[in-house]
Structure 1
Amino acid sequence: MVFIAFFVLSFHSFGQKSQMKAFIDYKSYYSPDQGAYVDLQFQFIAYTIRFAPVDSILQAKVAVSTIITDVATGDTVYTNLFALESPRMRDSIVEDFYDILRIPLQPGKYTAHVELTDIIAQGKPVDGKLEIEVSGDSKHVSSSDIVVAEVASPSTNHESPFYKSGYEIIPRLSNFYSQTMNRIPYYIELYNTHLIQDSSFGLRQQIVSSQTNQVVPGFSRFTKIKPEPVVPVLRNLDISKLPSGSYHLTLQIIDKNSQTIGETADYFFERINDNIENAENVEEIVLDPAFQASITQDSVNYYLASLIPIARPAEIKSILKTLKAKSPDLSRKHLQQFWVQTSGVDAYNQWMLYKKNVVLVEKNYGSNFMSGFETDRGRVYLQYGTPNTIIVRESSPSEYPYEIWHYYKIKTFSNKRFVFYNPDLVNNGYRLLHSDMVGEQQNYKWQQMLVKRNNSDNNIDGTNGNSQYGGNSQYYYKQD
């Protein structure tokens, strides 16, 4: 059984802007009666699909074409074409809908080619492919992949594609858990445990930090189970006290000697939880000599504070608490802990790269009043990296000095810009005036603010400023 993390990290989004979109994933299972099979899971994004009235209620229709080929031979081993009708919705606010294709496959590697067409919109098909690996037999102890549920409820409807061992499980295809999501309901099947020569076996649950590869305390659980050919397990994992970070939920079948039997089932997920600080005690950190040598005694608090531009709210609170303690040794440990938690085994190298940027923004943007990382330009540089282009206009007949930074790509966002200006006309006194980046200050009257240097226009509804000589900010802003 291939680790579930492989699937979650590589689940696919089919479709582009103005086209229908859907997410697809797969989970691998084994049945003593039927052999190995996979569930091909679909989540259709409702707002990208056209719904039409049917008997005064709304319904969508999607043509789903699936072709699966054997990677080793190139042979087609499965084909399916059908029209999927969404659940009927009475409200104009439509919701995403789901489907599962249950496909028997022999152990091996396959490629699934999927094509989706919005039948009502009669748009162009969207297509994609998903690599599949299947294993499972009757001779070895093993498990299915971990399935996380969007909804799980008792059911006797054996004909439902979502039916599993007495439950209807609507799969959750996203592996991101926001601050408001405090539980992970998961399902797994354990196979051939009757081959274990004992009256019971154990199932060990752990959460492992992907940065440090260490088990997170407080989330481990051990369950004693009676051996059976198939053992279904449905649990509800409480993550309300799990700090922000990237993690793996791991499940292991173990014997009475705590030895792992078979492969570990693994589910990768990301968590945002700014209400919880990381539980590791900073005072217990053992200092790495390399970290110690990289920071002089008189600069340790400066470099700890320089982490604020890239820290989460809970981390910022913790950093300020450490700075208030005025303990250089504690600050060193906190700085090292930050990079170990965010970069794992590459902590030192990532710290040295960041330190280089801190020095750079200090040189370019620092002043007698503010450190470089405290300035708006310094913070943006440290948080998002080097801009692809920077337009600098230090003198203009009608505008304050300004800079326009253009990033071609910031994570999943494209073509994001930042406008900084210097209304006080002091050295390096630039402030962020406007950005179209999500989460940043947005001021769509920014051009009007720029020309206030020589303009008393009080029209609060204007967004383009006055057309004065030398006012080219809009032109520069729109440049690629």
Structure 2
Amino acid sequence: MKRIIFVLLLPLMLKAQLAFFPLSADYSVFQMNDSLAYVEFYTSFFQSNLTYQDVDDTLRASFEISISVNYNGKEVNSATHKFTNTLLDSSEITRYNQFSDIFKMALPFRRYNVKITLTDLISKNNGEFLLDINVPGPQDGFYLSDLELASAIQKSASDTKFTKNNLEVIPHPRRTYDILQPMLYYYVELNNLSHEAGALNTFDVSFSVTTEEGDTIKTGPVRSKNVAAHTQAEIGAFNAMSLPVGMYYLNIHAKDNATAGTSNSRKKFYVYKPQKKTDSDLNNLPDIDPVYNTMTFDELQNEFNMARYLASNEEENIFSQMDSSAALGKFLTSFWRSRDQQNKTAFGQFRRNYLDLANLATQQYSTSMTPGWKTDRGRILLMYGRPSEIERFANTIDTKPYVIWTYYDLEGGADFIFADRTGFGQFELIHSSYHKELNNPQWYDLISNRTSTNNGFR
């Protein structure tokens, strides 16, 4: 079992407390060869803790992150990364924005003591994180690597420092999930899979969430996949805010169906939620959100039109009776406030998030005839949020252009397939595996330039 120590070095002088710089760190071990393991060390900290100084009409922060790996009291590996962050003005300093970094090392199989140090080169404030890590040797049969918890995972066409197996995996060493980071993403590698040329072997993989006492409180579906190589990456995600506040373990379970070999990997994480507002707090909120005071009647109507995907029949009926800006402003305030209460977000937060998505849809999916939020992709974006993964397929001799959106948190992984069947850039939803949406198992026929026109919708 690894031991993680968070260190704050405090001399007796009270003034020395100012030198502490909060730092998060974690690590994962992956298979490399018979004598070395590939080890990644992850760090993160909040931008607002940096000190910026005026330089040539800009604001500039400078800092460095160092790592020292020790075995039996002797340093066996080390590295230092130096950074400069330049901003135009202080409005770009975001309180909850995190800077992340990664160190990659090839290490022999043994136990190490690791010290990671962060130093603000302007204020001289610093923080340290100590890790006692175990780097085990490879196993003979099928086995899983360590789990990496992430704040985002997406396919990557270019190489960044966070890219592996054509995926950009942004680490989340803080391992705390909250309203600012509700989605828990994970990355794990399956090693020594049964892979033979011409053979169609498969593996099964699923996840579960357990408490410290071992009680299972969340499970994901078992997904069967084809084996493409001896070592294969597996990713997934779910909304951690569906869990109560507390400490949990994410467990990945996998089985190589050719050999019946099984393996498990797990990692600890935390869920934090702000305290719910009391009734007295809610009663003190204004009847009309001040944001509506300067909006015209048409602008208020347009806002509700964009939000219609969320509205109940009763809310539609109430809206149809609104005949003044004041009445409509009061109705919209109540409409959004109920969503804040349902989703446990701060007053006005759900509205801001939703309208941000509506603006994104307008910018990216609008056509000459249809605003983006009215398109199929706009509707799905507004109803289910940003997709976990997007795959784009260009026009070919065989198929029309189409895209696949995947939501890891919908029914254990739901796909939405949009196609430009007319050639005018209007991508229509032609199939989804999500039970509330259009389902067409023969969707490929709709985009094929070589098959019949059997629609197969149900």
TM-score with structure 2 setting the length: 0.50
**C-alpha displacement at 1:167, in angstroms?**
2.4
What corresponds to 1:162 in structure 2?
162
Preserved contact between residue 65 and residue 82 of structure 2 (Cα < 8 Å)? yes
**C-alpha displacement at 1:83, in angstroms?**
4.7
Preserved contact between residue 186 and residue 237 of structure 1 (Cα < 8 Å)? no
What corresponds to 2:87 in structure 1?
89
One-letter code aligned to 1:165: N
User: Secondary structure in 1 aligned to 2:146?
Assistant: coil
- 1:66, 1:45 → 2: CA distance? 19
Q: Is the alpha carbon distance of 1:55 and 1:161 closer, same or farther for their aligned partners in structure 2, counting shifts above 3 Å?
A: farther
**C-alpha displacement at 1:214, in angstroms?**
2.4
User: 1:62 aligned to 2:63?
Assistant: yes
- 1:99, 1:109 → 2: CA distance? 23
- 2:88, 2:259 → 1: CA distance? 53
Preserved contact between residue 63 and residue 118 of structure 2 (Cα < 8 Å)? yes
User: 1:50 aligned to 2:34?
Assistant: no
Matches within 5 A, 1:6-405: 6=2, 10=4, 12=6, 17-19=17-19, 20-31=21-32, 35-54=36-55, 56-71=57-72, 74-80=73-79, 82-92=80-90, 93-94=93-94, 95-121=97-123, 123=124, 125-137=126-138, 139-158=140-159, 160-178=160-178, 182-194=182-194, 199-211=201-213, 213-217=214-218, 219-227=219-227, 228-256=229-257, 261-262=262-263, 264-272=264-272
**C-alpha displacement at 1:98, in angstroms?**
1.6
Matches within 5 A, 1:437-456: none
One-letter code aligned to 2:100: Y
**C-alpha displacement at 1:274, in angstroms?**
9.3
One-letter code aligned to 2:67: T
Preserved contact between residue 141 and residue 195 of structure 1 (Cα < 8 Å)? no
Q: Is the alpha carbon distance of 1:144 and 1:13 closer, same or farther for their aligned partners in structure 2, counting shifts above 3 Å?
A: farther
How many residues matched? 264
1:49-105 deviation line (CA, Å, top 9, x unaligned): 22234554433222333221114xx4421122x351144333412443121110111
- 1:265, 1:189 → 2: CA distance? 10
Q: Is the alpha carbon distance of 1:265 and 1:87 closer, same or farther for their aligned partners in structure 2, counting shifts above 3 Å?
A: farther
Q: Is the alpha carbon distance of 1:89 and 1:28 closer, same or farther for their aligned partners in structure 2, counting shifts above 3 Å?
A: farther
Preserved contact between residue 67 and residue 76 of structure 1 (Cα < 8 Å)? yes
One-letter code aligned to 2:75: T
1:264-314 deviation line (CA, Å, top 9, x unaligned): 2112223356999xxxxxxxxxxxxxxxxxxxxxxxxxxxxxxxxxxx99x
Larger radius of gyration, structure 1 or 2? 1
Preserved contact between residue 184 and residue 236 of structure 1 (Cα < 8 Å)? yes
One-letter code aligned to 2:39: V
User: Secondary structure in 2 aligned to 1:173?
Assistant: coil
What corresponds to 1:317 in structure 2?
none
Preserved contact between residue 15 and residue 22 of structure 1 (Cα < 8 Å)? no
One-letter code aligned to 2:114: A
1:235-263 deviation line (CA, Å, top 9, x unaligned): 1213454334432110022244996624x
- 1:33, 1:60 → 2: CA distance? 42
User: Secondary structure in 2 aligned to 1:78?
Assistant: strand
- 1:180, 1:54 → 2: CA distance? 31
Q: Is the alpha carbon distance of 1:88 and 1:192 closer, same or farther for their aligned partners in structure 2, counting shifts above 3 Å?
A: farther
**C-alpha displacement at 1:32, in angstroms?**
5.0
Preserved contact between residue 12 and residue 25 of structure 1 (Cα < 8 Å)? no
1:368-405 deviation line (CA, Å, top 9, x unaligned): xxxxxxxxxxxxxxxxxxxxxxxxxxxxxxxxxxxxxx
Coordinate RMSD, CA, aligned: 3.5
User: Secondary structure in 1 aligned to 2:108?
Assistant: coil
- 2:154, 2:55 → 1: CA distance? 28
Unaligned runs of 5+ in 2: 11-16, 279-458
Preserved contact between residue 29 and residue 37 of structure 1 (Cα < 8 Å)? yes
Unaligned runs of 5+ in 1: 277-311, 314-480
- 2:200, 2:137 → 1: CA distance? 22
- 2:275, 2:48 → 1: CA distance? 32
Preserved contact between residue 12 and residue 24 of structure 1 (Cα < 8 Å)? no
Among all aligned residue pairs of Structure 1 and Structure 2, give the percentage whose two residues are the same amino acid.
20
1:110-140 deviation line (CA, Å, top 9, x unaligned): 011233322222x265444221111242733
- 2:57, 2:191 → 1: CA distance? 47
